[in-house]
């Protein structure tokens, strides 16, 4: 089904991918219809038109995918040497890089994000993740341990540890960075020798399916990665509760995160959860104000504000409040909104009609609770799911818009008077994913990084990530860390081996 939107210079490979009548599931290296024969549509958020018809996985398909993943785990994948695994991961990186333009367009089309962000952010990061984790298979090792046994003095043992894969990993990803989130989980999972069943978000299933094709082309054995698009309460829940899945890595809302915890209890799956945020971005009067202004803007409006790390609570020291907040509101009013695929667009639509409704209901709640709108505050005209970038001032910390994750282009700006006060207020939500601090005073910066409860803190910068830097949250923002060496721990389990030498 072709989209009705005029697609300027659409990549020929993307055109051919989209021309498929229906996009099938990927199970055991085969493209198959859902057992039920059901399909669902995915929509272009820029105009609400259907882009493609996708097979809708449910319990039976998840069962088949888990079976295929188990077979691959016990079969060819575990027999592949670490150096061969590295080669496969590097070939995946090369293929994603080769197809970056096509994948960026696909991501922009399905999710609504601007082509500039997809091309300069999502895609290079995807490649970097496969390259970084591509270096790990030959470096994952255990240790030998000098053991002494108190109740057996003088006894001699050789003790060593081995790091083994966790097993079959269920990957449940959201729609805000569909390909990037998939890569962030797949790369370490594969580096550690696991097999995967991935359920992309129902709003954005296409890039994971296209990635599935590239994985096979890269020489990944059949069944090592299985792709089962479908809905959360059906396919997602079936994966989260599956008795033969060893681990779930989930990125999404804190609310669904709780469901995942409950569903995983049956066979006590290992869990990595990356959940919501309501992150503070704190600007002191002594900061480089030009850089801080850019950081405030990017912090909230990147990806239409649909990032778990959105700097959605901006605190500005009172003496500079009017100046900085005025500039932020003026800039918000001039953002050019349009289809993500149009290179001139600065902000695309939200991902879905539902998300637009949700964000606008928060805007209404802010108005009702007495916050003042400095910019936006409304939907933007057009058929797509557009919401104007919105800046709220006169916000109280207790208001719903200051406490709950909105996941849209809506920012609360609030003045503060002292570092102690701002730290207390910054920490006063159930979340603790990221925080930003802007100051030229190095002691103040360090004092704040020590007292803010967040998994990632940026000083004089915002929204920076790298495959080598740990990512994850404090408090109700999640469990565990993704990316970096810590992901190697998260996707392996340690075996402790004793050899009696007596």
Residue ranges in contact with ligand ADP by CB under 6 A: 172-174, 199, 201-202, 231-233, 236-237, 240, 252-253, 256, 259-260
At 351, list the tokens. Answer: 């991902």
| Rounded Cα–Cα distance for residues 51 and 189 (Å) | 30
Question: Catalytic residue among 126, 192, 308, 412, which?
Answer: 308
At 151, list the tokens. Answer: 């109740």
- Please tell me the total number of residues recorded for the chain in this structure: 502
Give the nearest distance from C-beta 52 to ligand ADP in angstroms: 17
Question: Catalytic residue among 274, 317, 405, 482, which?
Answer: 274
Residue with smaller CB distance to ligand ADP, 279 or 439: 279
Residue pair 447/459 in contact by the 8 Å Cβ criterion: no
At 3, list the tokens. Answer: 């989209």
Give the nearest distance from C-beta 500 to ligand ADP in angstroms: 46
Say how far residue 445 (Cα) sits from the centre of its chain. 27
| Rounded Cα–Cα distance for residues 118 and 103 (Å) | 8
Residue with smaller CB distance to ligand ADP, 252 or 295: 252
At 440, list the tokens. Answer: 């030229």
Give the nearest distance from C-beta 91 to ligand ADP in angstroms: 27
Would you list the DSSP string of 78-123? Answer: HHS-HHHHHHHHHHHHHHHHHTHHHHHHHHHHHH---HHHIIIIIH
Of 177, 40, 11, 221, the closest CA to residue 99 belongs to 11
The H-assigned helical ranges of 288-430 are 289-301, 318-333, 353-368, 400-403, 419-426
Residue pair 247/166 in contact by the 8 Å Cβ criterion: yes
Give the nearest distance from C-beta 197 to ligand ADP in angstroms: 12
| Rounded Cα–Cα distance for residues 293 and 15 (Å) | 39
Residue with smaller CB distance to ligand ADP, 202 or 342: 202
Give the nearest distance from C-beta 259 to ligand ADP in angstroms: 4
| Rounded Cα–Cα distance for residues 26 and 83 (Å) | 26
Give the nearest distance from C-beta 191 to ligand ADP in angstroms: 23
Which helix (H) or strand (E) is 393 found in, with range? strand 390-393
Of 33, 29, 110, 24, the closest CA to residue 71 belongs to 29
Of 308, 280, 278, the closest CA to residue 296 belongs to 280
Residue with smaller CB distance to ligand ADP, 209 or 292: 209
Give the nearest distance from C-beta 227 to ligand ADP in angstroms: 12
CA distances from 488 to 19, 140, 285, 485 (A): 39, 8, 41, 5
- Told to judge if 308 belongs to the known catalytic residues of this protein, a careful annotator would answer yes
Residue with smaller CB distance to ligand ADP, 240 or 456: 240
Residues in Cβ contact with 458 at an 8 Å cutoff, skipping those fewer than 6 apart: 434, 435, 436, 437, 464
Residue pair 164/493 in contact by the 8 Å Cβ criterion: yes
Catalytic residues: 274, 308
């Amino acid at each position: 089904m072709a989209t009705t939107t005029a697609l300027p210079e659409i990549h020929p490979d993307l055109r051919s991918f989209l021309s498929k009548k229906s996009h099938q599931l990927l199970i055991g290296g085969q493209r198959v219809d859902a057992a039920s024969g059901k399909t669902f549509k995915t929509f272009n958020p820029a105009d609400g038109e259907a882009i493609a018809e996708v097979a809708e996985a449910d319990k039976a398909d998840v069962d088949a995918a888990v079976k295929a993943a188990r077979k691959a785990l016990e079969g060819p994948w575990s027999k592949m040497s670490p150096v061969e695994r590295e080669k496969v991961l590097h070939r995946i990186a090369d293929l994603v890089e080769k197809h970056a333009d096509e994948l960026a367009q696909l991501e922009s089309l399905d999710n609504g994000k601007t082509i500039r962000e997809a091309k300069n952010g999502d895609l290079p990061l995807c490649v970097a993740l496969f390259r970084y984790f591509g270096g790990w298979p030959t470096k994952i090792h255990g240790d030998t341990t000098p053991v002494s046994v108190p109740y057996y003095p003088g006894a001699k043992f050789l003790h060593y540890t081995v790091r083994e894969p966790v097993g079959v990993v269920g990957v449940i990803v959201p729609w805000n960075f569909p390909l990037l989130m998939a890569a962030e989980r797949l790369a370490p999972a594969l580096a550690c020798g696991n097999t995967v069943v991935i359920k992309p978000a129902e709003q954005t299933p296409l890039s994971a399916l296209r990635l599935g094709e590239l994985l096979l082309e890269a020489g990944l054995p059949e069944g090592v990665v299985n792709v089962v698009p479908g809905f959360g309460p059906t396919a997602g829940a079936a994966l989260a509760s599956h008795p033969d899945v060893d681990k779930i890595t989930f990125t999404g809302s804190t609310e669904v995160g709780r469901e995942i915890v409950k569903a995983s209890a049956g066979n006590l799956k290992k869990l990595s959860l990356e959940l919501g945020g309501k992150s503070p971005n704190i600007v002191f009067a002594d900061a480089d104000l030009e850089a801080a202004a850019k950081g405030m803007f990017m912090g909230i409006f990147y990806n239409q504000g649909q990032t778990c790390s959105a700097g959605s609570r901006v605190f500005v020291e009172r003496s500079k409040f009017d100046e900085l907040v005025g500039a932020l509101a003026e800039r918000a009013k001039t953002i050019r909104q349009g289809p993500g695929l149009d290179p001139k667009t600065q902000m695309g639509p939200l991902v879905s009609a539902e998300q637009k409704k949700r964000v606008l209901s928060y805007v209404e709640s802010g108005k009702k609770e007495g916050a003042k709108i400095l910019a936006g505050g409304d939907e933007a005209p057009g058929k797509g799911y557009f919401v104007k970038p919105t800046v709220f001032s006169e916000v109280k910390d207790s208001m719903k818009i200051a406490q709950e994750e909105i996941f849209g282009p809506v920012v609360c700006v609030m003045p503060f008077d002292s570092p102690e006060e701002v730290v207390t207020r910054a920490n006063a939500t159930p979340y603790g994913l990221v925080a930003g601090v802007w100051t030229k005073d190095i002691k103040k910066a360090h004092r704040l990084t020590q007292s803010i409860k967040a998994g990632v803190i940026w000083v004089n910068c915002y929204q920076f990530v790298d495959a080598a830097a740990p990512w994850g949250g404090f408090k109700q923002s999640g469990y565990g860390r993704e990316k970096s060496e810590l992901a190697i721990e998260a996707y392996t389990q340690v075996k402790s081996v004793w050899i009696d030498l007596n």
